[in-house]
Chains A and B, each alone.
Chain A
């Protein structure tokens, strides 16, 4: 069985036409004065999904989250949760909880009281609250910190308290606004996996806002790439990376080489592209591109092979000169200046300690790739 990316996903309600949507943004627009933060956006999120909103700052992703929490009302359109229109429902009556970017822990309350706060509002009986708080403390491994105040905790511990507090009420949806933004890199990586485990364990729907693509790729079932208040693509991390829908998405996630060009010839399973500077490229899947159309051929650096001699069986091979090399340990990055002037970035995994074909600055070299290595973008 062939599949995009390296992970087989068994949980994929978005591919099931009968699956019931859980959260629906239906033509939602949000304006602040003259500024349109969210523009006529429609989006569907399914139950138990780990959904990421990814975009640069100011793209409207936080506004989307705040509308779901009830801190902002859409200027137009509807937001449905489990079939219920959320319009007019204040934040304190919505069955969603949010983990704030600043954590927003109550500084005058102990860890215990912070976690119990939402349960008390619910009118849960005292003994039940105690039990649930103990359960939550155990979940985030903070049992011995129950009596501490937030300012006596480290950044990572505060993050856990914020998390425990927001899941204590067992919300239908947990909203996370840059949940790992304030942590250092190492802690962030650990916490990413913890968040995923927690989501599995509690069986909740998570909607996370982030500007960190690696974070979104690691954790999310699906990612919505946002720009200027609009959704550019909604897909699994593998689809976003291997089959971006547009130049914007291809550029936004990971590194990419772009060849401007025209479709020279188009048949059912072969597309021949003529690059603007003369390169000839053959591709398996031309997508929606018709013959004669202006397109961009996008290919990721790790899909490109660099060698000193032209590989005998290569369908696509272009010649150039090594412009820059960087040895990063796990991989080596090459910048090759093709003879037509374009600079191509290629990366090679250092799968063995010893290489047969060492290259250095200013060496003549060939870049080659398979016909299925890149995508043809019309947008």
Chain B
């Protein structure tokens, strides 16, 4: 665009046109630079600091690790520090089965929770998308409403519901459905309940947006061509909502893998999730380098689903829908 403008006007006033083009290019670039700066300062720099710490060793000092890339002792000291960097902490992670188990458990718990959230969230999103247009904003509001209360308080509230003498057991005992209180709190079931509850809006919203823009006449066309409603759902509605399904699943899966609050409050002490392990290393053991290494590996593990997500989005955009 700018190139064409430049060549078109260059025949009359070449110098001026060139200046205008340069100025335009600068303004265009400036607009792009802002988000890049944001990413640089609030993502890349912190990540480099974490990565740097993960390569150093623990030390009884403030902060509790050996300094790296430090010019305090001059250039020689800098290179000495640089040479002291190593991947010992990463080797350590592979030697203790605890970390591997924590990663795998986290991925499995996040995976199961994501599927459960999808099963619960899809009918909700579908119902919302098919509701009369006048009440849809209200329904949308109701989905977002829990965000107005602190996440921590809402998870605490679940302790009150799930504990042996809690609300759920009281109701079930009172109605005579059970004779012994159910043990839910401090089990994996409680973690699943907590994650499904907490992350439901992240599943419902992308599903709703992809279902809502779907042309209902497609379903009518499928029926018109001899397809009963259930068949039409699986052949038309579901495939067309796949971008929403993928987006929702990743929005739930990615934070659920690193989730710390829910397993800590609802899962009890014996649950092994990577977020909790990280917290323990950091606060209980004060081993910043190892916990940084745990965080870096977690990031790498999560980058793979994020890349899938971006690919899926690019594909959806390519389809022009």
Contact = CB atoms under 8 A, between A and B. Distances in A.
A117 B222 contact: yes
A121 B224 contact: no
Contacts of B227: 92, 117, 121
A102 B319 contact: no
B225 interface: yes
Contacts of B319: 107-108, 149, 151
Given A100-B217, A104-B218, A106-B218, A91 B224 contact: yes
Contacts of A98: 220-221, 224
A96 B224 CA distance: 8
A169 B225 contact: yes
A108 B240 contact: yes
B161 to A, nearest CB: 41
The winner among A70, A97, A104, A122 for most chain B CB atoms within 10 A is A104
B226 interface: yes
Interface in B282-312: none
A104 B214 CA distance: 11
Contacts of A121: 225-227, 231
Interface string B216-246: 0110111111111001000110011000000
B3 interface: no
Contact of A118 (B217, B218, B225): B225
Contacts of A107: 218, 240, 319, 321
Contact of B224 (A97, A102, A108, A122): A97
B96 interface: no
Given A117-B227, A122-B226, A108 B221 contact: no
A107 B218 CA distance: 9
Contacts of A61: none
B220 A169 contact: no
Contacts of A97: 224-225
Using C-beta atoms within 8 Å of the partner chain, give the interface range for chain B: 20 to 34
Contacts of B220: 69, 71, 91, 98, 100, 104
A70 B239 CA distance: 25
Interface string A166-208: 1001000000000000000000000000000000000000000
B320 interface: yes
B73 interface: no
Contacts of B215: 102, 104
A293 B231 CA distance: 62
Interface string A85-123: 000001111001110111011111000000001100110
Given A104-B218, A121-B231, A151-B320, A69 B224 contact: yes
Interface of A: 69-71, 90-93, 96-98, 100-102, 104-108, 117-118, 121-122, 149, 151, 165-166, 169
24 contacts: A70-B223, A90-B223, A90-B228, A91-B223, A98-B220, A98-B224, A100-B217, A104-B217, A104-B220, A105-B221, A106-B218, A106-B221, A106-B222, A106-B236, A107-B218, A107-B240, A107-B319, A108-B239, A108-B240, A117-B235, A118-B226, A121-B225, A121-B231, A151-B321
Given A91-B223, A151-B320, 20 more contacts: A70-B223, A90-B223, A91-B224, A92-B223, A92-B224, A92-B228, A97-B224, A98-B221, A98-B224, A100-B217, A101-B217, A104-B215, A104-B217, A104-B221, A105-B221, A117-B225, A121-B225, A121-B226, A165-B225, A166-B224
